[in-house]
Structure 1
Amino acid sequence: MFPLRDHNPSTTTPYVVHALIAANVIVFLSYWGLFANPVALDRFFMDWALIPAAISEGMHLHGLFTSMFLHGGLLHLGGNMLFLWIFGDNLEEEFGHLGFLAFYLAGGLAAGLAQYVTAPYSTVPMVGASGAIAAVMGGYLLLFPRARVDILLFLIIIIRILPVPAWLMLGLWFGLQLFAGVSTPSDAGGVAYWAHTGGFVAGLALTLPLWLRRGGPGFWARTHGHPPHPEARYRPTTIPPVRRRR
């Protein structure tokens, strides 16, 4: 299940979302050449990624911030930027440009701290914007639970694009992160599930004051759980199923 777009793109230009995507891409390109030298790449990540054991020693505190702009490969970068592009514009419209930037960075810091707390002596470097983007997803869920999101659904050999409400897609995503976090050793390598979980919860908490100022349940009643502007009209998109050859 992979999101492609939502049906309520913002009515204003999301300058901060654009700037964050550009910053992540530029930073990634700045060390792209290191992927040909794994030793140099590991050394780079040890200097700039989030290393929980180093934080416990009072060292490399900057990793809580710099790790948000590092990625482990093109797919890692591309997937994160797609999620930010889909869900970030509506939140930037609600928070304002500077407010959204502060929200994004605070969510990323909270995600890093959540991962640190679960394994404070791990030496595995953590990189990626997904913790901050998880905060964006949490905020989106609170403000726009019924917004429609087109997802690319893979069912073995059948591929379909389906519109689903945001609460279903984001709620399922959060549940999977929480389950994986509980069932995976905290100091193992791979996906930083607790960063995702912590970022999502932080996004909900950071968005709560804005939601209450908008009227709380009254905001949902006025907008029917959608961003407060008309839906975009997309042409129906179909992907034929892949059939087995006999």
Structure 2
Amino acid sequence: MIPIRDTAPCHSTPYVTWSLMVVCILIFVVMQFMPYELSYKLIYLYGMVPNRYANPQWGLAYGMPFDGYLSFLTSLFLHGNWMHIIFNMWFMWIFADNVEDRMGRWRFLAFYMTCGLLATLMQWYSAPTLTIPVVGASGAIAGVLAAYYFLYPFERVVVYFFPVVLHVPAVTFLGLWVIFQLYYITTSTFVEGVTADSAWWAHIGGFIAGAILYRFFLRKDEVV
């Protein structure tokens, strides 16, 4: 199911949502015009490479000195390919504006970054010896989806489900999204020969963080 839009009204201009999207898109586009060697190096330096923190000597040997965990933050603004950024920004466009509306701009920014950092931490904890970079805004966006799930459970999400367009409750669409994440985690963990091709633990970690924390970031007049 591909979401097209939602029906929840937004009463303010989502400047933070738009700004985060612009930053991610600009960084991605600029990196497409860089020499491959340079973009490859930047992905490894500013993406979160788990083994860099589990084994600092390994990181030093491969030109990645300890950075004070900076990449847990910078990795949120990097994306691996066009499909990666398109899907992330599309989900951001549909769901984040309403969450920003309920939290206010600065609280939403703090919530987004907190969920992203906790999601990256969960991904690191799940595979601390991984030697490839983990990048993408997915974990932070998963936190946004969790907030939307609880704030707008019965708003409709318009989805394209080949060959028809359906209007489904947000609680159904996002509930299915969580089930798919758990399915991919289970198969990549317990089924021999299946490898993870995405940061599924970051998705779940971000969603859990968002589900727990969202109410602490709501504006005082919005607390539920």
TM normalised by structure 1 equals: 0.79
Residues 8 and 120 (structure 1), Cα distance of their counterparts in 2 relative to 1, 3 Å cut: same
Letter in 2 for 1:82: W
Alignment of 1:171 with 2:200, yes or no, is no
Is residue 160 of structure 2 the alignment partner of residue 152 of structure 1? yes
Q: Deviations over 1:71-120 (max 9, x none)?
A: 11122111111100111011101110000000000010011001001011
Q: Distance in 1 between matches of 2:183 and 2:76?
A: 23
Q: Helix, strand or coil for the counterpart of 2:83?
A: helix
Paired amino acid for 1:200: F
In structure 2, do the counterparts of structure 1 residues 190 and 11 end up closer, same or farther at CA, with 3 Å as the change threshold?
A: same
Q: Deviations over 1:142-201 (max 9, x none)?
A: 1111110001113xxxx2111100000000101110121122149955111000000011
Task: Structure 2 unaligned segments of length 5 or more: list them.
Answer: 57-65
Number of matched residues? Answer: 210
In 1, the alpha carbon distance for the partners of 2:121 and 2:93 equals: 24
Alignment of 1:37-52 (within 5 A): 37=36, 39-52=37-50
CA gap 1:133/1:71 in 2 versus in 1, 3 angstroms: same
Structure 2 CA distance, aligned partners of 1:94 and 1:208? 10
Cα displacement string for residues 206-242 of structure 1 (whole angstroms, at most 9, x for unaligned residues): 113467x7564xxxxxxxxxxxxxxxxxxxxxxxxxx
The answer to whether 1:196 aligns with 2:203 is yes
**Between Structure 1 and Structure 2, whose CA radius of gyration is higher?**
1
Structure 1 Cα separation of the partners of residues 79 and 176 of structure 2: 24
- Alignment RMSD (CA, Å): 2.1
> Counting helix residues as a fraction of each chain, which structure ranks higher?
2
Name the residue aligned to 1:18: 18
